[in-house]
Amino acid sequence: MQSDPETAPGALAARPAGALAETGVPLTGGAGLFDHSAHDAFSPSTVRLAGVAALILTVAVAAWLVGANPAFESGKAAGTANQLGAVAAAGGAALEPGSAAAEGAQIIATKPCVGCHTIPGIPGANGQVGPNLAGVASRTKIAAGAVTISSPDDLKKWILNPAALKPGTPMPNVGLTDDEATKIVAFLETLK
């Protein structure tokens, strides 16, 4: 095997000490690292002061935004009764065994309703997509105000065919029979 002779000084030849560092500049942090802070546009104390000022400004703006929001003052920042439901209704109403309302509770527990709505008294019904149904029987408007509820029949029409009352609604028609819808409405009427 033939090799090229290395010329002096080669790639691995010793270098003079002056080539490793600039003259008159102290090394800090390790070989080859230089302290360039004297050339920075701002001194370290100025940068620290700007950081503290930015933090104070952020806290002040956040406090102003909270103070300017009337929902915090009125106590409705966490939502309204239509959005969250009354706290008293959270456990659901006591249902008479064998009643239409009790049968409606059993039916609604087996339908897709539980995946989208939080429904008091129905185990596992803790969906967050649709509104909380606590207090639904006390509401005069549902579906973001698009549907007026003046009787249980109006609520029944809504759950049987939501798109007929509010085109484009994300609430699906789940294929309830008239009897199932009647019993579900009887249960929902207990959620006042």
pLDDT in tens, 129-162: 889 998 898 899 998 888 999 999 999 999 999 9
Task: Quote the mean pLDDT of the chain.
Answer: 79
Same domain flag for 93 and 112 = yes
Q: Report whether 112 contacts 176 (CB < 8 A).
A: no
Domain range for 127 is 82-188
Same domain flag for 178 and 89 = yes
Which candidate, 18, 192, 35, 13, places its Cα nearest to that of 120?
192
The identity of residue 178, as a single letter, is D
**DSSP classification of residue 136:** G
**Would you state the pLDDT for residue 175?**
92
Task: Identify the residue whose tokens are 């789940």.
Answer: 174
Same domain flag for 181 and 93 = yes
Task: Identify the residue whose tokens are 């102003």.
Answer: 64
For 162-186, the pLDDT digits (tens) are 999 999 989 999 999 999 999 999 9
Tokens of 138: 């006390």
How many structural domains are present in the chain? 2
pLDDT band at 87 (very low <50, low <70, confident <90, very high): very low
